[in-house]
Structure 1
Amino acid sequence: MRVVVVGGGVLGTFHAWQAVQRGYEVLHLERELEARGASVRNFGLVWVSGRADGAEVELAQRARDLWTEVPGIGVRTAGSLTVCRSEAELAVAKEAAARPDAAARGFQVLDAEQARERNPALKGELQGALWCARDAIVEPREVLPALRAELQKSGRYRFLGGREVRNVRTGEVVDDHGEVHAGDLVFLCTGAWHSGLIRELTDDLPVRRVRLQMMQTAPLDDALTTAVADGDSFRYYPAFNSPALDELPPQESIAAEHRMQLLMVQRTHGGLTIGDTHEYDEPFGFDVRSDPYEYLRGVVERILGRPLPMITRRWAGVYSQATSDEVVVRREVADGVHLVTGPGGRGMTMSPAIAEETFEAIERTGPSAGGTPMAPATSERAGSSRAGDGR
């Protein structure tokens, strides 16, 4: 069987991975020479901790296991600490650690001394932290080329960058070079590209685009041994919804305006990736705002107890998020042509399991009637203000 995958981001690349693992021949098309969207503009967090109950956390748990099974991509099973700087935030952490599934999520409440033992770089303000052993880290700018290198070893994989798809019909894809590519199955994993061909194929997708801002520092002369979040992240992840959450004081105005939480990861070269913001109303600005960066700088410096290294990069990104109760939106838009989109900020975390689920559904039931959902996974809180906009 020949499979054509359109979209070179993490979701498309894992659909290619699943196809090759099943013995299929794969042609992989990407309109840029290399993926340049949300898949390379994120933290590289495999973020299990805050996922919604049911299908969402089940997919995240499965994806976390799948990430560690892929050779050559350098997954760091470092875990995460959500730093609590007040008793109110610590109360939310304690309620999370009392959940029936706390052990499965790897939750444990640490006091300040235990948190610093786990991550000695946290020399600043904290009352304690929520430890999540299941969270992990990959390098977003490196993982896609590494995955493709592993795929090419099969002899059944070919990547073509710089090819924008202009037409899709049952059994074939036409690119902007005029080449026709035959495929028994076609997967459209086009990320935040909702217009053009995608709109022609289906105009009622329950998705929206979300814009975020992030930054990266010069190398820190200290090791950040875990991923780090702050107490504001409790507000954005469904697993932390509890009576204690309702007792948190309002966010600072700049954080509330930009729907901010702190997520922080140290890259393999020593620099820190820090963010992020959330913007939901289009048209998005084309500029990058400085005030959210300055706010985040202050939060990080209080947690680390030291000045940040120089900021060397700032950027914005846009991802596609489902507005329905689906964890990811799947539609068969023509016979054998499957659109997979809208994982939101969960894309880096869940793509291995989303791709696996896609193929399992097709192999179990065969193609569905055109335009109908194909075995969608659902999340009881998707689309809400606490719908898990993290990575």
Structure 2
Amino acid sequence: MAPRTPPTGHVDLAIVGAGVVGLAHAVEAVERGLSVVVLDRDERAVGASVRNFGHICLTAQHGPALEYGLAARERWLAMAAKAGFWVSEAGTVVAARTADEHAVLAEFAAERGDQVHLLDAAGVRSKLPRVSDEVTGGAWLPLDLRVDPREAIPALAAWLAAQGVDFRWHTSATGVETGAVHTTRGTVTADRVVVAVGHDVDRLLPGVAEAAGVRRCLLQMLEVSTPDSVVFDPAVLTGLSMVRYAGLRACPSADEVQRRLAADHPDLLEVVMNLMFTQRPGGDLVIGDTHAYATTHGPFDDEATADLVLRETARLLGVDRLTVRRRWRGVYASADAEFLVAQPFPGVRVVSVTSGIGMTTAFGLAPTVLDDLLR
């Protein structure tokens, strides 16, 4: 259904934030025939939505996040066709190097059935052309997807604009209330408002952020050249992922993985490393990542943390060193729960994925938020 032409200065839905969470709500609203304006302080999306792995990592989730991820998968595939961006259905390989990691994957496969395919060493190498001899098996998660966020997010915005969504870039929200968003370029009136500004909710609605325990999770991430220019079709997770993602973490043997890592690799747990990588369409690998939590982070990065990521990725790939192409900080909202959905005023919802899985879940979360908001 095409969106209605809005009256001058008034829309059905105003969305603050043009990252993946805001865009997911805009897509859902357009599908429902609503008139929409999207406001963003920058001239394009430059935050967490374009600084990530592009990994729709749904299988490793649990509970509502898994439900949202499964729903989001179908929307990603549909939007790739409509908006014309690349999407890979090659899934994820979880590489296992120890007996306890194999035990986690066996338990996970027993619980999830066809969502998890166990692999022996040869099976892993049939999907990953270069990994260390330490990798003795693993699992393939066929439902997971990959996109290139640097392409997909702008493509989504362009498609929405072509459907009649009014994007107002370089426009900062200064206040929100029922029926209105006050901005640096005047007031926008709307029947409903969604605030999707991620970790910056404390700038606009500090009471909401304080009640939810919102902090900023700071990541160190890198892009490196691929050894021998090999092609990695799936995304790649490791044993460190087993103590981070809720679906894997719920397996009984994950406790043993945690204990072993604490004894053998406390430096990796100290920086909360999730050793993983994806390959960009141009061939380079996006590797990472580490996690640090604070309301306000200092401006200085610790090179030793990046060295740990490089060392562990090189070890996983069985190479001596990696050539860095780019380095960056990722920042996303972290809170006491995986998702923040709050109602500071009637007709207003604050929405943030507060667990680092916005790309995975936003398209599944948005319909539930709008169902409630429009009820």
Q: Same fold (TM over 0.5)?
A: yes
Aligned partner of 2:6 in structure 1 is: none
Aligned partner of 2:371 in structure 1 is: 360
Q: Post-superposition shift, 1:43? A: 0.8
Task: Tell me if 1:247 matches 2:253.
Answer: no
Task: Tell me if 1:228 matches 2:236.
Answer: yes
Aligned partner of 1:380 in structure 2 is: none
Q: Post-superposition shift, 1:250? A: 2.5
Superposition pairs for residues 42-191 of structure 1, below 5 Å? 42-52=52-62, 54-70=63-79, 71=82, 72-99=84-111, 101-103=112-114, 106-122=115-131, 124-154=133-163, 156-177=164-185, 179-191=186-198
Task: Tell me if 1:328 matches 2:335.
Answer: no
* Preserved contact between residue 213 and residue 276 of structure 1 (Cα < 8 Å): yes
- Structure 1 residues 135-174: Cα deviation after superposition (integer angstroms, max 9, x where no partner): 11111212111001111221x2111111101122322222
Task: Tell me if 1:38 matches 2:48.
Answer: yes
Q: Higher mean Cα deviation, 34-43 or 345-354?
A: 34-43
Amino acid aligned to 1:320: A
Task: Say which of 193, 201, 213 aligns to 2:220.
Answer: 213
* Preserved contact between residue 97 and residue 136 of structure 2 (Cα < 8 Å): yes
Q: Which runs of 5+ in 2 are unaligned?
A: 1-10
Q: Post-superposition shift, 1:206? A: 3.8
Aligned to 2:278, the other structure's residue is in SS state: strand
Question: How many matched pairs?
Answer: 356
- Distance, in Å, in 1 between the alignment partners of 2:28 and 2:75 is 11
Q: Post-superposition shift, 1:203? A: 4.9
Change over 3 Å in CA distance of 1:293–1:299 after alignment to 2: same
Aligned to 2:199, the other structure's residue is in SS state: coil
Q: Higher mean Cα deviation, 247-256 or 259-268?
A: 247-256
* Preserved contact between residue 7 and residue 190 of structure 1 (Cα < 8 Å): yes
TM-score w.r.t. length of structure 2: 0.90
Aligned partner of 1:300 in structure 2 is: 313
- Structure 1 residues 358-382: Cα deviation after superposition (integer angstroms, max 9, x where no partner): 112234xx2xxxxxxxxxxxxxxxx
TM-score w.r.t. length of structure 1: 0.86
Change over 3 Å in CA distance of 1:277–1:201 after alignment to 2: closer
- Distance, in Å, in 2 between the alignment partners of 1:46 and 1:201 is 28
Q: Post-superposition shift, 1:355? A: 0.9
Change over 3 Å in CA distance of 1:257–1:359 after alignment to 2: same
Aligned to 1:246, the other structure's residue is in SS state: helix
- Distance, in Å, in 2 between the alignment partners of 1:144 and 1:117 is 31
- Structure 1 residues 30-85: Cα deviation after superposition (integer angstroms, max 9, x where no partner): 01111222111111110012212x32211111111211111222221121111111
Aligned partner of 2:290 in structure 1 is: 277
- Distance, in Å, in 2 between the alignment partners of 1:283 and 1:152 is 34
Aligned to 2:202, the other structure's residue is in SS state: coil
* Preserved contact between residue 254 and residue 292 of structure 1 (Cα < 8 Å): no
* Preserved contact between residue 7 and residue 29 of structure 1 (Cα < 8 Å): yes
Amino acid aligned to 2:33: G
* Preserved contact between residue 349 and residue 373 of structure 2 (Cα < 8 Å): no
RMSD: 1.8
Aligned to 2:319, the other structure's residue is in SS state: coil
| Deviation >3 Å, runs of 4+ | 200-203
Q: Post-superposition shift, 1:228? A: 0.6
Give 1 or 2: higher helix fraction: 2
- Distance, in Å, in 2 between the alignment partners of 1:295 and 1:8 is 33
Aligned partner of 1:199 in structure 2 is: 206
Aligned partner of 1:26 in structure 2 is: 36
* Preserved contact between residue 208 and residue 323 of structure 1 (Cα < 8 Å): no
* Preserved contact between residue 116 and residue 123 of structure 1 (Cα < 8 Å): no
Q: Post-superposition shift, 1:123? A: 5.3
Q: Post-superposition shift, 1:230? A: 1.3
Q: Post-superposition shift, 1:190? A: 0.8
- Distance, in Å, in 1 between the alignment partners of 2:19 and 2:201 is 15
Q: Post-superposition shift, 1:292? A: 2.5
* Preserved contact between residue 3 and residue 26 of structure 1 (Cα < 8 Å): yes
Q: Post-superposition shift, 1:301? A: 2.1
Aligned partner of 1:265 in structure 2 is: 278
Aligned partner of 2:329 in structure 1 is: 316
Identity %: 31
Q: Post-superposition shift, 1:189? A: 0.4
- Distance, in Å, in 1 between the alignment partners of 2:225 and 2:141 is 27
Q: Which runs of 5+ in 1 are unaligned?
A: 367-391
- Distance, in Å, in 1 between the alignment partners of 2:222 and 2:302 is 11
Aligned partner of 2:4 in structure 1 is: none
Q: Post-superposition shift, 1:18? A: 0.9
Aligned partner of 2:7 in structure 1 is: none
- Distance, in Å, in 2 between the alignment partners of 1:124 and 1:225 is 20
